[in-house]
Structure formats: structure tokens, C-alpha cells
Amino acid sequence: MEGNLVRIARKSTLQSEAKQQEDLKKATLLAADLQTRIKRLNYAKASTMIPTLADQKSVRGTVVVDERSNALVLTDIGTSIDRMLQLVEALDIPQPQVEIEARIVSATRDFARAIGVQFGFVQGNLERVTVGGPNTFGTIGGTRPSATPTTTFAAGNPATGRGAGSTQAGSTAGVSTGGAGNFNVNLPSTNPISGIGLSVGNIFDTFLLDAAITAGESKGLAKLISQPKVATQNNQQATVTQGLRFPVQIIANQTVTVQFQNAALTLTVTPQITQEGNIVLDLKVENNTPDFSRQVNGVPSIRTSESTTRVLVSDGGTTVIGGILIDSESNTEDKVPGLGNLPIIGNVFKRTSVSRSVQEVIFFITPRIMK
């Protein structure tokens, strides 16, 4: 159909005419003069644009990257170059940055079970997001207290998720700040099936989280190992490592060389900002520790534990990763000087004890969009 006219022809005729039009279009492209333009990029890496521009250039076009000046050298017909430049302008924009604050806490298993790592509170119209953990309870926060609230360990109510305020009696089952009616946080636990429940709360004031950690430190149940901060661009990986490198002697061909083995706790985070202003975190936690009880030619083996997850967190919210266990064992011998060294009867005058402690490393990760 052409305008108001309906054309009737054989199918083969129409196909032949369509092929002729396509050949004419290709011939026009081949006959057009080639142009070369240079486009310097401000924010994106020029090399990352190559796959994107591959479908935009013609069969005669080429795209070359100049790494030194971070520029694209575009050679093609005018219409294709204009199309590629328009696409580059739309993509070469500054990316937002995310500040990632991590609190690395070493806690006893009893402390980890007691708090359940369940920050459950809502302030205003904010929604709480929970990832895993069958026993996650929440409280509703009211107005912010004018004075600094007191933090005490007291028995919480798992059924309502409300803390016990400043009540002094009770078990280590919850942490409450400022009473149940004010801005508060409650960390109850009702026999969780694992040492930690992964929960994400909208925590805009870090003093609430610090209060829970400080309360655990005052009881000797937890210790803040490190509190690193790192800033990274959107969709760019950030890594925090803490540990040691111990030397290992390697003998080969009658030559002794020293190599260093890594035994470190590594946290890898890749943030992605959503259109709603939330942050998707790709998290990976890896803990490598030397095991001197299992050695081969004097070289200790490496114990490795790894956890990988993907969570959605609000801007300023906090997500929790746990389950990284550090198992240590020590042997102690007490004996009476002299008598404890006697054969056979010396066992009466000495005592050997074996103590074992299991610590759980907990990561509290708080991402914030830098504006």
C-alpha cells in the first residue's frame, strides 16, 4: 500500500524490489565519505565503551581507544558518528559514590545468640527489610529522646519486640534505650536456630548500634576489632583486609626461599544504587587462619571459611553478616615445683586443663550515599 493506493503484485516481485532497495542503501553507505572525530571522556573509561558502540557503527566504521588521553577515535559516515556521539554523551556521566562503614565485632556465641542481631525498629514511615532469620521482631520508634538514653542489658519481650527499658533484673536477652515508648531498639532472641539472624534495619543514628556493642564490651562478651570506612563509586568493588602474612620456607633444588602466606579476614563489598535510593550490596566475607596443629614439613595449613550474599539496604541502613567462627584451644599445666616432675606419683601434684573458646566474627555494614 502506497498512500491511498493499493498495489497488487507477485510476492517474488515485492521481494525483488525490497532487495534492490536494500542494495541501494548499502551502496549509498559505501559511497559516503568517511569522517573522523575524537571524543574525550570525562568520567567513563574509554575502553568500556567499545562493546556498547559495536552495534552503532556501520560496516565501514571503526572505534579506537586512546588510553593516554582516555579518548575515543571514531571513524565512520556522518550519521553513524552522530549516533555514537549521542550515546556516549548519555553514558559519560558522573557516578554517585557510596561510603561503606563496617564494624567488625568479635563476640562470644552466647552474646551472638542473645542479641540475635535483630535490629527491629521503624521510625516514621520507614520500612524494615529482613533477610533470613525466623525470629526477627520489631519495635516502633517514637520521638527522639532529648537526652542521651541509658543502655542496659535486660529481658526483652519477644512477643511484642519491646525492650525492658532501664529494668536491671533479667537475662541477657535484649538491649533497650530510653524505654519502650521512645526512640528505641530491641535485640531479642528466642532460641534462634543459628548463631546469627541476618537482619537489615533502617538505622540512621549509629549510636544505637554502638550502644549495643559497648554494652557487650562492658560485659566482656564482645569486642570491637575494627571500624574501617571506605568510599567507592557505584558498581565498583571495595575491599577491606585485616590480618597477617607469615613467612614460610620453601626448599627446592637445594635453594631456600621464603614465601609469605596470607592469613587475613577480608570483606569485599560492591554497592549498586537503585532508582528508589536504596542500595544493593554484593557481600563476600572470607576468613583465612593458620592451623599450626596440622603442619606439613613445618608449614601450617590454612583454615578457610567464606560467605557470599546479596542484600537490599536502605540508605544509612545496616546489614549484618555472621557465622564466621574462630575456634581456639589452649593447654595449661599447673604443678607443684619439684614434686610435679617425679615419675608416676608426679601426676598427683600437677593438673592439666584444656580450655576452648569459640568466638564469632560479626560484620555490621552501613552504606551511605554520598551527596
Span 262-282, average pLDDT = 90
Question: Are 112 and 362 a contacting pair, CB within 8 Å?
Answer: yes
Higher pLDDT, 368 or 164: 368
pLDDT, position 207: 65
Left, alpha or beta for 100 (phi > 0: left; psi -120 to 50: alpha)? beta
Q: List C-alpha distances in Å: 128 to 135, 312, 319.
A: 14, 11, 11
Cα–Cα distance between 31 and 26 in angstroms, integer?
9
For residue 112, the model assigns a pLDDT of 67
Beta bridge partners of 55: none
Write out the three cell numbers for 256: 631456600
Where does residue 174 rank: exposed (0-12), middle (13-18), buried (19+ CB within 10 A)?
A: buried
Q: How far apart are CA 371 and CA 367, in angstroms?
A: 13
Set of cell numbers at residue 35: 569522517
Per-residue pLDDT tens digits for 138-183:
333 333 333 333 333 333 443 333 333 333 333 333 333 333 333 3
Of the ranges 58-62, 105-109, 114-118, 234-238, which one carries the lowest mean pLDDT score?
114-118
pLDDT(225) > 70? yes
pTM for the full predicted model: 0.58
Burial class (CB in 10 A: 0-12, 13-18, 19+), 116: buried
Please give the domain boundaries of the chain with CATH numbers for all domains: 35-94 (3.30.1370.120), 100-365 (no CATH)
Q: Given this model, what pLDDT does residue 116 score?
A: 54
Q: Among 106-110, 139-143, 157-161, 295-299, where is mean pLDDT lowest?
A: 139-143
Q: Check: CB of residue 281 under 8 Å from CB of residue 310.
A: yes
pLDDT band at 14 (very low <50, low <70, confident <90, very high): confident
